[in-house]
């Protein structure tokens, strides 16, 4: 028996009856020979980890644009914290940790430079719209590996596209990541906002702290414990009603005090202008786009607007600024 088959057999012995077993995966769009060592979800996790899209997350904004300090989160550190939260919950519930980690590592691959500000700018300009969860799926299905995609399993792709709160993943592992994403960003965005002097823990209303506790650590610990306690041996992932209401109240507080705060968001109008200008520039100059994107357009597989979104959204913060300067900022010159 191969190592992979032994690992798959072990899953049947130790995982919950509600877990997604590797051997029961709905498979990949393109059939391929299984790995002799790794079950399919572990293989997906590895493909995402080694992708260029994942590496670019290290230079993409989470919330704070160009913060003055080394300890503010980026989109990559956010992704790693989502993965950690999700794995903790999955392990306790005896769900498939490989599947959870693959979804978590891939869920934000489609984020634009400068976070949600970039996303809003592309969505406003592109007639087809732009959503980062849809772009994450497009990356793993079509764009990575120079247009070949990563050929991930259905379960991982389902979790990636459905990680937004108003959507419904088809696996419990996907539901774990969906909640872990929101828990992670509220926890670390609060931490970054306190570090930046925008708010203090004591600013959080008493109606929230009496349920969740008074510190960031207590909130994170409370959320995770509550999810585990209310989801154990159930075919769903949920919070208690009291904690869920406090969760939404804290989220509303964060939107009011942090996500729309002029100190944290004061530069976003510049981002909006820059992303829109780059979008329209590349619409008129698709000849400078990578060959695999131009080929998609030439073959009728994607519109001009879509491949421009593909290109601009893939940029890191630093590369977007560099591209803007290259195109629109006059260079010095000398007479020879």
CATH of the domain at 56: 1.10.3210.10
Nearest in space to 75 (alpha carbons), one of 31, 129, 124, 116: 116
Q: Quote the mean pLDDT of the chain.
A: 94
- Per DSSP, what are the bridge partners of residue 74? 61
Q: What is the mean pLDDT of residues 260-277?
A: 84
Confidence of residue 267 (pLDDT cuts 50, 70, 90): confident
Cβ–Cβ under 8 Å, residues 180 and 51: no
The answer to whether residue 204 is domain-embedded is no
Cβ–Cβ under 8 Å, residues 24 and 32: no
The answer to whether residue 24 is domain-embedded is no
Nearest in space to 61 (alpha carbons), one of 324, 320, 316, 321: 316
The answer to whether residue 255 is domain-embedded is no
Q: In the numeric block, which tokens belong to residue 112?
A: 């634009």
The answer to whether residue 81 is domain-embedded is yes
Q: How far is CA 197 from CA 23, 164, 191, 217, in A?
A: 50, 29, 10, 18
DSSP three-state, residue 248: helix
pLDDT above 70 coverage of the chain, percent: 96
Residue 209: per-residue pLDDT? 94
Q: What is the mean pLDDT of residues 251-280?
A: 87
Residue 331: per-residue pLDDT? 80
Confidence of residue 171 (pLDDT cuts 50, 70, 90): very high
228 by Cβ neighbours in 10 Å (0-12 / 13-18 / 19+) ranks as middle
The answer to whether residue 336 is domain-embedded is no
Q: What is the mean pLDDT of residues 300-320?
A: 97
Query: CA angle at residue 197 from 190 to 214, to 5 degrees?
Result: 45
Domain span at residue 118 reads: 36-196+272-323
Q: What is the pTM of this model?
A: 0.95
Q: What is the mean pLDDT of residues 173-179?
A: 98
Confidence of residue 93 (pLDDT cuts 50, 70, 90): very high
Residue 70: per-residue pLDDT? 77
CA diameter of the chain: 77
How confident is the model over 25-69, as pLDDT tens digits? Answer: 999 999 999 999 999 999 999 999 999 999 999 999 887 776 667
DSSP three-state, residue 215: coil
Cβ–Cβ under 8 Å, residues 189 and 74: no
Residue 335 has pLDDT above 80, yes or no: no
The answer to whether residue 241 is domain-embedded is no
Cβ–Cβ under 8 Å, residues 275 and 312: yes
Q: How many domains does the chain have?
A: 1
How confident is the model over 134-144, as pLDDT tens digits? Answer: 999 999 999 99
Nearest in space to 106 (alpha carbons), one of 61, 145, 129, 138: 138
Residue 193: per-residue pLDDT? 87
Q: DSSP letters along 17-81, please? A: TTS--GGG---BSS--PPPSSS-HHHHHHHHHHTSHHHHHGGGSBSSSSS-SSS-S-BHHHHHHH
The answer to whether residue 277 is domain-embedded is yes
DSSP three-state, residue 166: coil
How confident is the model over 189-240, as pLDDT tens digits? Answer: 888 888 888 889 899 999 999 999 988 899 999 999 999 999 999 999 999 9
The answer to whether residue 70 is domain-embedded is yes
Residue 21: per-residue pLDDT? 98
């Amino acid at each position: 028996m191969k190592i992979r088959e032994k690992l798959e057999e072990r899953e049947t012995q130790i995982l919950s009856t509600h877990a997604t077993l590797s051997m029961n995966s709905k498979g990949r769009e393109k059939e391929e020979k299984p790995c002799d060592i790794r079950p399919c979800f572990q293989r997906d996790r590895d493909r995402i980890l080694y992708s260029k899209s994942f590496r670019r997350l290290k230079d993409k904004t989470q919330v704070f644009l160009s913060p003055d300090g080394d300890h503010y989160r980026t989109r990559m550190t956010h992704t790693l914290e989502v993965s950690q939260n999700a794995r903790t919950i999955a392990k306790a519930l005896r769900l498939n940790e490989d599947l959870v980690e693959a979804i978590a590592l891939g869920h934000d691959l489609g984020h634009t430079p400068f976070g949600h500000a970039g996303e809003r700018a592309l969505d406003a300009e592109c007639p087809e719209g732009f959503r980062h969860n849809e772009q994450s799926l497009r990356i793993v299905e079509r764009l990575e590996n120079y247009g070949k995609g990563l050929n991930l399993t259905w379960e991982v792709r389902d979790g990636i596209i459905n990680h937004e709160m108003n959507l419904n993943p088809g696996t419990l592992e996907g539901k774990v990541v969906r909640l872990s994403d929101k828990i992670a960003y509220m926890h670390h965005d609060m931490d970054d906002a306190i570090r930046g002097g925008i708010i203090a823990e004591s600013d959080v209303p008493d109606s929230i702290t009496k349920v969740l506790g008074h510190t960031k650590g207590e909130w994170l610990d409370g959320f995770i414990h509550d999810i585990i306690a209310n989801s154990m041996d159930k075919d769903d992932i949920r919070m208690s009603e009291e904690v869920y209401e406090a969760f939404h109240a804290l989220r509303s507080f964060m939107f009011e005090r942090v996500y729309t705060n002029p100190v944290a968001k004061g530069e976003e109008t510049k981002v909006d202008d820059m992303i829109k200008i780059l979008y329209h520039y590349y619409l008129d100059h698709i000849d400078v786009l990578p060959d695999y994107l131009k080929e998609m357009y030439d073959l009728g597989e994607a519109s001009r607007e879509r491949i421009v979104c593909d290109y601009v959204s893939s940029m890191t913060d630093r590369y977007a600024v560099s591209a803007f300067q290259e195109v629109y900022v006059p260079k010095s010159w000398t007479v020879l």
